Structure 1
Amino acid sequence: MKDSARPPVVDRAAWERARAELLAREKAHTRAGDALAAARRRLPMTPMPAITVVGAQGPVPLHEVFEGRRQLLVYHFMWKRGAPHDKQCEGCTHSQVAMDTAVRAYLAERDVSYAVFSRGPWPELAAYRDFMGWTAPWYSTQDCQDDEMATRNGGDLRCYLRVGSEVFMSYESTQRGIEAMLPTLQLLDLTPYGRQETWEDSPAGWPHQDEAGSWWRRDGRPVAQWTRIAAANADQP
C-alpha cells in the first residue's frame, strides 16, 4: 500500500466542517429511506397457495411456519445438492451469521418470525445448520410444485403476512436488497477504505480492490466456517 493511500489530515475545525457537510447528506439519505419504507408498507400483497414445507418435525403447512405470529421473514438459501459443507454458498452463509437468537427475539417482539427455506433435501440442510451452530428454523422446499416458491435458487428475502391460515406475500428483495442482513457491509462502509471492492468509487491509490463478495470465501471455505472449525479443534483433547 502506498503511504499516500489515506485520507488527508486536517485540523479539528476543518474536520468538523467536512463532517457536517457529509452529515447533511446522510440525513437526507435516511429520510429518503424512511420514505421508501413508508411506500413499502403500502404495497399490495398476493395470496400464496396451500404449500407444505419440510422441517425438523416433518411436513409443515406454510401458515404454521409463522409460529403463531402474523408476519414472517424468509431467507431463501441457495443450496448445492449433494455438495460438502465447504462447497455451499458463501454469500448465503454470510447472510445467516447475524441472524442469531437475540436478533430473532427482537423480531418476535414486533410479531415477526424468521425462517430459512432452501430447495435442498432436509437432511442436508439440517446437517449444515448444525455444523454452523445456527438455531433458526430451516425448511426444505424441494418438493414444492408451485411456481410461487421458485426463486433464483437462493439469495432472496421474502416477507409474508398471515391472516388466519391464509398466507400472503408482501415483499421480495434480491441481490443488494438483502444487505440489511449483512451488517458487516454497512460497518465497512463507515471505514476509510470501505469494502475494498472494485465497483466502489474510491480515491486513486486506495488499497487493492477485490471483486464484490470474493473475500467471503477463504482457503476454499466460506469465511464463517473457519470459526466453527477453530472451535471444534479447540475442543479436541
Structure 2
Amino acid sequence: MTTHHTGTREAWLAARLDLLAAEKALTRHSDELAQQRQALPWVRVDKAYRFDTDEGSASLADLFKGRSQLLVYHFMFGPDYKAGCPSCSAIADGFNGFAVHLAHHDVTLAAVSRAPLAKLQAYKRRMGWTFPWASAPGNAASPDITSSVAADFNADFSVWFTDEQQRSGTVDYNYRREPPLKSSASQDDESAGAVATFAAMCGTDVPTYIRDRPGLSAFVLEDGIVYHTYSAYSRGLDGLWGMFQWLDRAPRGRNEIGVWWHRHDEYDRR
C-alpha cells in the first residue's frame, strides 16, 4: 500500500489550484529574471581567441555562423579525458533538437571544450550528435596568435583552472573562491563521491577531471564587434538538463541516490 497521502478528486483539485498559483508566480518571477539577464551590460571581447572546428581554424566571431547571437556550452572534456563528462553528455543530448530551432531564431548553439578536435569528433559520432563543437586547445592556431591567447578562452570564462590554482586555493568558479584541493586527493580517497565516479567514467583522476568545469556563456555580434553578455555555472545550468525538467513533474521527482545517470549508450551495458 502506498505511503503517500491520498485523497478525493475534489481535494486534489483544491491542492492543484493552490499549486497553480505558486507555479504562475514562479513563471512571472522567471520572466523577470530573464529580463534582468538581458539588461546586463555587454562587455566587449577584444582577445583574438582561436578555435579548431570542423571547418578549420575559426575566430569567436566565426562561431556565430552568420547569426547575431551565440550560446556556448562549456563542455567538460579535457585533453586527458578518455570520454566526455557524463553530466555534460546528458545535457548535450538535447542540443540536436534545440539547435535547429535556435538557428532559425538568429541564435547559434555550440559547445567548446579543451580536448583536441579529433577526440571531440570521435565522441560526437559515438553519441550521434550534430551540433557544432569546437576545440579551444592550449596551442596557437596561427603564428600571430600566442599560445596563451589561444588557451585563454577557457580560463577567461572560468571553466578551466591549473594545477597550481587548485593547490593554492585560487580557483574562482561560479563567482566564488574555492578552498585549496588537498594534495592527498585521489580517486581512492573520493571513491564514494559523485566526482570520483565521474572522473573514473572519464578515465582520469579527480584533480584532472575538475580542472575543467561546465558552464554556459552568451555572446552577441553587433557591428562586427563581439560582446560577452552572460555566463552561468554549476546549479545555474539546471534548466538546461531536459531530463530533470521532466523528472520534476514525475510523481517521485528526481528521487536521486548517488549517481544514477550514464551516457545514453551505456545503460544497456550495465
Normalising by structure 2, report the TM-score: 0.71
The secondary structure found in structure 1 opposite 2:67 is: coil
Structure 1 counterpart of 2:182: none
- 1:132 touches 1:228 (CA, 8 Å); kept in 2? no
2:266 pairs with 1:226: yes
CA drift at 1:47: 1.7
- 1:53 touches 1:61 (CA, 8 Å); kept in 2? yes
2:130 pairs with 1:135: yes
1:98-137 per-residue CA deviation (whole Å, 9 max, x = no partner) reads 111x421211222100111001111111111111110011
Amino acid at match of 2:151: Q
Structure 2 counterpart of 1:176: 235
Structure 2 counterpart of 1:193: 252
Structure 2 counterpart of 1:123: 118
1:31-85 per-residue CA deviation (whole Å, 9 max, x = no partner) reads 1111111111100121222211111122101101101100000001111424433
Give matches, 1:39-54, under 5 Å. Answer: 39-48=36-45, 49-54=47-52
The number of equivalent residue pairs is 204
CA drift at 1:225: 2.3
Residues 1:72 and 1:15: Cα distance change in structure 2 (over 3 Å): same
Residues 1:228 and 1:215: Cα distance change in structure 2 (over 3 Å): closer
- 2:76 touches 2:85 (CA, 8 Å); kept in 1? yes
The 2-side partners of 1:53 and 1:104 are apart by 20
Amino acid at match of 1:91: S
Aligned residue among 131, 145, 152 for 2:151: 145
The secondary structure found in structure 2 opposite 1:5 is: coil
Give matches, 1:1-237, under 5 Å. Answer: 3-6=1-4, 8-48=5-45, 49-85=47-83, 88-100=84-96, 102-143=97-138, 144-146=150-152, 147-152=155-160, 153-197=212-256, 210-211=257-258, 214-217=259-262, 222=263, 224-226=264-266
Structure 2 counterpart of 1:203: none
Amino acid at match of 1:81: P
The 1-side partners of 2:267 and 2:55 are apart by 29
The secondary structure found in structure 2 opposite 1:216 is: coil
The 2-side partners of 1:16 and 1:93 are apart by 38
The 2-side partners of 1:149 and 1:173 are apart by 10
The secondary structure found in structure 2 opposite 1:27 is: helix
The runs of 5 or more residues in structure 1 that have no matched partner are: 198-209, 230-237
The 2-side partners of 1:228 and 1:104 are apart by 27
Amino acid at match of 1:195: R
CA drift at 1:177: 1.3
1:4-34 per-residue CA deviation (whole Å, 9 max, x = no partner) reads 333x221111111010011111111111111
Normalising by structure 1, report the TM-score: 0.80
The 2-side partners of 1:136 and 1:30 are apart by 29
CA drift at 1:216: 1.6
Structure 2 counterpart of 1:202: none
1:131-182 per-residue CA deviation (whole Å, 9 max, x = no partner) reads 1110011111113232424414231011000124321110001112112221
- 1:121 touches 1:142 (CA, 8 Å); kept in 2? yes
- 2:78 touches 2:113 (CA, 8 Å); kept in 1? no
